[in-house]
Structure 1
Amino acid sequence: MTQLDANSQYIRSVRLKLEQLPRGTFPFTLPFVLNLNELQLHPNITYIIGENGMGKSTLLEGIAVAYGFNPEGGTLNFNFSSFDSHSPLDQYLRLVKGTDRPSNHFFFRAESFYNVATNIEELDREFAYGPPIIDSYGGVSLHEQSHGESFFAVFRERFSGNGLYILDEPEAALSPLRQISLLARINELVQDGSQFIISTHSPIVMAHPLSKILQITEDGMHETTLEETEHYSIMKQFFDDKDRLLHHLFQ
């Protein structure tokens, strides 16, 4: 299968049900919610970026839960709950889907990945029908690998072509080299008919050319380029003139 286009992408856009929207409570006080009407997604990769507290994870969670994922992550078949803390945003989102349907799905959340790994082990202890679930993650307990290696086992083993993947800060446990490897893996999957929605702070991860970068600020949400992001400019400034930056920083 080749990469998706505007006619075949799995989620085309996300619309806010303005007529039903509560006012004055979180997350409906977030700037992007106050200014959001319809969010057009890229057929291949949509990056959602911004400073901490701007609502990136809240938006990603809302899209994932509205699609049918468990708030803590996993495939569409996961339904465990370690702590019910997700926002009600999903109830006010309308997903506009394309005509094609993905055959593989995953909602990856760095902050709750431990809970997903634990649930896999619990399910494998409880059920003896069919092969163990962990086999589709490489066959090695995710708890018996380093944090970064367990992340990458999911990207490498569980993700396949023709998939919809929603990733919340996937770079959290990855070295720069592993982030480059993740970008290469994303490219393989994009070329094989997959669509990604990714929240990230990493200029490496957000560097794929077949993408749209949406930045959330106090003024709402706007499209930008990699070179225009603060993530890129700060890292470039640091490495171009590290001594000067540190001199001013430490004064």
Structure 2
Amino acid sequence: MAKERFELGAPFLKRVYFREPPKDRAEYPLSLPILDGLDLTFSTPVTVIVGENGSGKSTLLETIAYHCGFNVSGGNRDHVYDQTADVAPLADALTFAWRPKVAQGFFMRAESFFNFAGYLDEMSSHAGSVAYASYGGSSLHRQSHGEAFLSLFENRFGGKGIYILDEPEAALSPQRQIQLLAILRALEESGEAQVIMATHSPILMAYPNADLYYLQGDTIRLADYRDTGHYRITRRFLENPDAYLREIFDRFDS
């Protein structure tokens, strides 16, 4: 009788850390303060990374995508076009622990999504509509920004792989963000997908059962989303927007 094959499910990427931090930290991205003592453990299928602009969360995601062989401007190992970031020095300095390593998936980078959509259009000029087969069947440029994002999530995110999302809320209304949460839940329940997402959205960071890493200054720590500045500021504003705005405007006028 043939042996039953045992396959491990998500998360596949278990840990990212410095085995021995590089001595020369003068150049970006190795100069980021957040990298001091970097040691991220991924224990759940969905991981959320939260931090202020410039904290290094996007660089971390780009580095993971690079290590996976994905295009760091967006896409995967099959998408070959100009890349907008050089994170090779950081990727070479880090240790990535997998169980097992997967080569499938996708890197969604909101900042360069326009370039990715243009790349698909260029491919369609040679391959025809088959270039759009995994993206809803039509050019992403012929849809609204938010609709194009959802076309990507609904049609391209699925199957065994690691899915990396950098600020996916950039073009999504609150209602569309709720739809994205449902897509993430379907990915998690499949048991075949690992999601690593950086976001500023209190809606997305509330995804249940996710590990949330909060980047502050030179520290990275696990936190509840209610402990983040993003949540606290948004809650204060929504509870009493008039009073909150008066306080802010008075502070700047004084």
> Normalising to structure 2: TM-score of the pair?
0.89
State the shift of 1:6 in Å. Answer: 8.6
CA distance in structure 2 between the partners assigned to 1:19 and 1:100 by the alignment: 23
Per-residue deviation at 1:244? Answer: 1.5
> What is the CA–CA distance in structure 2 between the aligned matches of 1:247 and 1:8, rounded to whole Å?
47
**Corresponding pairs, count:** 242
Q: What pairs with 1:193-232 in structure 2 (closer than 5 Å)?
A: 193=191, 194-232=193-231
Inter-CA distance 67–233: structure 2 relative to 1 (3 Å threshold): same
In 2, distance between residues paired with 1:204 and 1:99? 31
CA drift at 1:95: 1.4
Query: C-alpha separation between the residues in 1 aligned to 2:77 and 2:185?
Result: 23
- For 1:30, the aligned partner's letter is L
Q: What is the TM-score normalised by the length of structure 1?
A: 0.90
Q: Are 2:124 and 1:111 equivalent residues in the alignment?
A: no
Instruction: Give the corresponding residue for 1:76.
Output: 77
Q: Following TM superposition, by how much is the alpha carbon of 1:22 offset from its aligned partner in structure 2, in angstroms?
A: 2.5
State the 1:158 CA deviation: 0.9
Paired position in structure 1 for 2:55: 54
Instruction: List gaps (5 residues or longer) in structure 2.
Output: 1-6
CA shift at 1:192, angstroms? 0.8
What does the per-residue CA deviation read over 1:192-224, in whole Å, with 9 as the maximum and x for residues that have no partner? 121100000001011111211101111321111
Counting only pairs closer than 5 Å after superposition, residues 122-133 of structure 1 correspond to structure 2 as 122-127=122-127, 132-133=130-131
Report the equivalent of 2:182. Answer: 184
Within 5 Å, which residues of 2 pair with 1:15-26? 15-26=17-28
Of 118, 126, 135, the residue aligned with 1:137 is 135
Q: How much has 1:150 moved relative to structure 2?
A: 0.3
Residue matched to 2:155: 157
- Structure 1 residue 135 displacement after superposition: 1.4
Query: How far, CA to CA, are the matches of 1:212 and 1:195 in structure 2?
Result: 12
1:173 to 171, 191, 213: 171
Q: CA offset at residue 182 of structure 1?
A: 0.5
* Separation in structure 1 between the aligned mates of residue 84 and residue 16 of structure 2, nearest angstrom: 24
- Measured in 1, the distance between the counterparts of 2:9 and 2:24 equals 33
Where in structure 1 are there 5+ consecutive unaligned residues?
Answer: none
The amino acid that maps onto 1:106 is F
Q: Is the 8 A contact 2:52 2:216 kept in 1?
A: yes
Higher deviation after alignment, 23-32 or 57-66: 23-32
Q: Identical aligned pairs, as a percentage?
A: 40
Partners of 2:227 and 2:95 lie apart in 1 by 30
SS in 2 for 1:113: helix
1:149 counterpart letter in structure 2: E
